[in-house]
Amino acid sequence: MLLPDPRGAVSAGLIDLLRRDPSTVEYQPVPDTDAEDLQLSLWVCYELCYRGFERVDPDWDGAPALMTIRRVLENRWLGTLRGIAVPERVTDVPRALAELVAADEGPPLAKFLQTKATAEQFAEFVAHRSVYHLKEADPHSWAIPRLSGRAKAALVEIQADEYGQGKLERMHSELFRATMRSLGLDDAYGHYVGQAPATTLAVSNLMSLFGLNRRWLGAALGHLAVFEMTSSLPNRRYGNGLRRLGGDATATRFFDEHVEADAVHEQIAAHDLCGSYAADNPEAAGDILFGAACALTVEARFGTHLLDRWTSGTPSLLQGGLPGAA
């Protein structure tokens, strides 16, 4: 994957740095910027810990200058995220997670895709989701070596399903590639990052923020739990919406797979993962609920962006729509 085009002073400076030898670069101040520039810059920083970029030295992922820039950007975003309300004095984490999900009034994105979306709009939705789903499960897997006991076993059980129990054709990222190809989309890793707005990048960045920082282990678990607890019904609607538009079994398999799998994962994530971790680490209950609340908020902003754009008759991706897709 090539480095994306910058969206402001921060991403422009960062991308310029990454074209140099990391051993010769010192930290440079990070100017204030807007959400588009911040989220793209964070995404670039995080991606260096995953697959990296062509013609970028792999030593950059641990370079002091890069780590300092990333921490500055993370702290700025965390300043906003910390304003998200979470329950106080939690004693029963699984119950608190269920109550948080029940109280969520996010936008009706799944219902729109099921009943009203055009083929082009559905393809846009899939292009947005590709930013995360082509590396599905990877951000949460950072938590595995940081856990022990029942919580570790629960996370491994969930992730094993995400990775298709070791079968390539059953890996969820590969199922999503099949959906992309069915819609005429380019399934290359990171292909649509340049067209993904800040609200889309934030969905992926939030998982990386929690996953890559051991300080936020509890938040990573809470994020995964609410991700699983809010997945089954929307994926059923996504699958039905794609069938309405003529999608065959190959096109819908990714969504259909999540209807069944995530119904099981919901219980494992809430009770065996988060419940047992909180029982062993009572001080982490607040972080677990914080991660869950952040997940719901960021996802709601993503859905609102898509619906607002489609309602106004404009593409939801940057730089226009998807020529030739769907």
**Could you report the per-residue pLDDT of 130-154, keeping only the tens digit for each?**
999 999 999 999 999 999 999 999 9
Give the pTM: 0.95
Which distant-in-sequence residues (6+ apart) come within 8 Å of 218 by Cβ? Answer: 277, 278, 281, 284, 285, 286, 287, 288, 290, 291
CA distance 208 to 206: 5
The secondary element (H helix, E strand) that includes residue 77 is helix 64-81
CA distance 191 to 178: 15
* pLDDT above 60 for 324: no
* Polymer length in residues for the chain: 326
Residues 271-293, mean pLDDT to the nearest whole number? 96
CB-based contact 266:232 (threshold 8 Å): yes
CA distance 139 to 224: 10
Q: pLDDT over 90 for what percent of the chain?
A: 88
Confidence tier at 86 by pLDDT (50, 70, 90): confident
Q: What is the pLDDT of residue 85?
A: 80
Q: What is the C-alpha radius of gyration for the chain, rounded to an integer number of angstroms?
A: 19
CB-based contact 274:221 (threshold 8 Å): yes
The secondary element (H helix, E strand) that includes residue 10 is helix 9-18
Q: What is the pLDDT of residue 284?
A: 96
